[in-house]
Structure 1
Amino acid sequence: MLKTHYGFRYKDPDDSLMVIRGIGWESTSNEDYRWDGWTRGDKFVAFQYTLSGEGHLIYDGKHYAVPPGHGFFVRIPDRHCYYYQSDSRTPWEFVFLTAEGSHVFSYWNEIVEKNGPVVALDPSSKPIAMLLEMMRGADDRTLTDKYEISVRLYEWIVSCLRALEGKREIERSVPDAVEKARAFMESRYHLPLTLEDIAAAAGASKYHFCRQYVKYAGMTPVQHLSRIRIAEASRMLRETNASIASIAVAAGFDNGSYFGKVFRKLTGISPQQYRDGSDGSPAKPIFVE
């Protein structure tokens, strides 16, 4: 599944059905990437989930960071904007879904009222797995019936409600140990780091630190380090003509074979497929009868 996005075009639009408007997987390191909820000239809802890097959301005047393992729910039009911050050290890579139909707004309202606009979801959670499965359906053109699309969208929303049930957005500052570890990994990802190295840089014991990191980042330090390395490798694949083997070494991997294995595990495709497909093309249309 290449990194791209799809726009659904319906022959006979029916506002009584909830349907997918767009779905995809993108990356940006452009400081001009910014979407304002009041100026988009249409009516729909959006969910965007960070795979690596970090995005930012302003919602009702409040700032939220959107790090890996987190996503946000917004309505359009509404008082929000989301954007990439130019001083970030890695590209913002994310998957997203947009939807429309009269009933979909009440579900988005329910999620935001109960959990806040930004939510934590494990990368292996059912909502993220279902989102990727719908992307595969768009990619192989098996998701082309409006009634099936509506059912799949409803099932996805229910999976989100179930995953988030009982959870509230807790306002808390990120512990210094987590911030120190993140900065350490982002500046030294190219070195052969161990969990012990990262914990020492954070000034914490390995086991307590690891539990704390998962709580605030949604993944282990080693998993986050892999994502930082893959994000940097993705940038080099897009922006340079360096060989894949040299990119692997520059991103902190021992060899090209292991790099390819980790890259495919996190993205679903090989580094070469990523390089071939990252052409910045517009949304691919899917026409639904």
Structure 2
Amino acid sequence: MLQPGSFAFRPSEAQPYMTLDSLGWTTDAEAGYGNDCRVRGDKGHAIFQYTLNGEGRVDTGGQTWEVPAGCGFLVRVPSEQRYYYPPEGTQPWGFFWLNVCGEDALRMCDRIVEKHGPIVRLSAESQPIALFWEIYQAVSVDRLSDPTELSVQLYRWMLSLLRSDANYVSKETGMHPAIRQAKRYMRDHFAEPLTLEGIAASCGVSRSYLCRLFQKKENDSPLAYLQRRRVEAAVTMLRKTDDSIQSIGIRCGFDSPSYFGKIFRHYLQLTPGEYRRRTAEHPYDTVYLD
């Protein structure tokens, strides 16, 4: 389970890309908490802060903005900006933050503010928030500290904020844990004779609950998802091996050649044999089905 904390990074040499200076999560900022970007020492940095509970304030552009739960802001250092716990606050301010540095960080910060304004409202399920928690877990639990690996995650996070629809919820980051585990299990074991009971057991839920979850969250069924993964694997085998079609069907989890042909044709409008022969029209080694 993740716990509040703060983490700083001090690489031995400067990097030519956006890097992570610090990040953290606090639950109890109260009277006296504040930062004035005119006097902070970390020049050339951009700071994102997102309210989880309570409320803060940010002074920017000559105005004071409320930052309630579900809202965040970006500031530059140095700048004529200030963020703080309001004197009239009645409950602690809980928030997380990311402090990033480098020319790319500043450029992207400016673009994000230009696109979304001084305050950006983000749901807890949105991709930027989900990606922050991925970074936080990598740092606080997995002890990730390599600046290059962290930078890869930072660029992904910044780009998610640059989306016009920053509240976008990706299928992976906004996914119910049981669905995520079931999908992982089916991808890893598609060649085996899987049953709904076995798939559900792999993620600790009942068969009926898993089916309801898939229908509600994915508008799909677990077995339909499994069929698509099996057909995808079959496409690759048809292109990259000389194995017989019957053998490929068995290796992809289909218990009979006729059923393999029926499902393959349902998704690709071709039989497996036709797909193998018609390489000019269908030259792809991999096809993703969704």
Q: Shorter-normalised TM-score: what interval?
A: 0.5 to 0.7
Counterpart of 1:51 in structure 2 is 52
Counterpart of 1:124 in structure 2 is 125
Q: CA shift at 1:61, angstroms?
A: 1.3
Change (3 A) 1:160 1:20: same
Counterpart of 2:212 in structure 1 is none
Q: CA shift at 1:27, angstroms?
A: 2.7
Give the paired residue count: 166
Q: Is residue 158 from structure 1 mapped to residue 153 from structure 2 by the alignment?
A: no
Counterpart of 2:21 in structure 1 is 21
Q: CA shift at 1:165, angstroms?
A: 5.9
Q: Is residue 34 from structure 1 mapped to residue 39 from structure 2 by the alignment?
A: no
Q: TM-score, normalised by structure 2?
A: 0.55
Counterpart of 1:194 in structure 2 is none
Question: Aligned partner of 2:10: which letter?
Answer: R
Contact 2:38 2:78 in 1 (8 A): yes
- Cα distance in 1 for partners of 2:83, 2:30 equals 13
- Cα distance in 1 for partners of 2:24, 2:62 equals 28
RMSD: 1.8
Q: CA shift at 1:30, angstroms?
A: 2.7
Counterpart of 1:257 in structure 2 is none
Question: Aligned partner of 2:69: which letter?
Answer: P
Equivalences for residues 1-289 of structure 1 within 5 A: 1-14=2-15, 16-43=16-43, 44-162=45-163, 164=165
Change (3 A) 1:113 1:163: closer
Change (3 A) 1:91 1:101: same
Q: Give structure 1 stretches of 5+ with no counterpart.
A: 168-289
Question: Aligned partner of 2:30: which letter?
Answer: N
Contact 2:46 2:76 in 1 (8 A): yes
- Cα distance in 2 for partners of 1:114, 1:159 equals 12
Larger Rg belongs to: 2
- Cα distance in 2 for partners of 1:58, 1:137 equals 32
Deviations 1:184-235 (CA, angstroms, capped at 9, x unpaired): xxxxxxxxxxxxxxxxxxxxxxxxxxxxxxxxxxxxxxxxxxxxxxxxxxxx
Counterpart of 2:172 in structure 1 is none
Change (3 A) 1:52 1:93: same
Deviations 1:28-59 (CA, angstroms, capped at 9, x unpaired): 34321111010002221100000000000000
The percentage of aligned residue pairs carrying the same residue is: 36
Q: CA shift at 1:140, angstroms?
A: 2.1
Contact 1:115 1:164 in 2 (8 A): no
Change (3 A) 1:165 1:159: closer
Q: CA shift at 1:157, angstroms?
A: 0.6
Contact 1:37 1:76 in 2 (8 A): yes
Question: Aligned partner of 1:119: which letter?
Answer: V
Q: CA shift at 1:153, angstroms?
A: 0.4
Contact 2:122 2:166 in 1 (8 A): no
Local SS of the residue matching 1:103: helix
Contact 1:29 1:86 in 2 (8 A): no
Question: Aligned partner of 1:140: which letter?
Answer: V
Q: TM-score, normalised by structure 1?
A: 0.55
- Cα distance in 2 for partners of 1:137, 1:92 equals 24
Q: CA shift at 1:163, angstroms?
A: 5.5
Q: CA shift at 1:12, angstroms?
A: 1.7
Q: Which runs of 4+ in 1 moved over 3 A?
A: 163-167
Local SS of the residue matching 1:9: coil
Contact 1:6 1:22 in 2 (8 A): yes
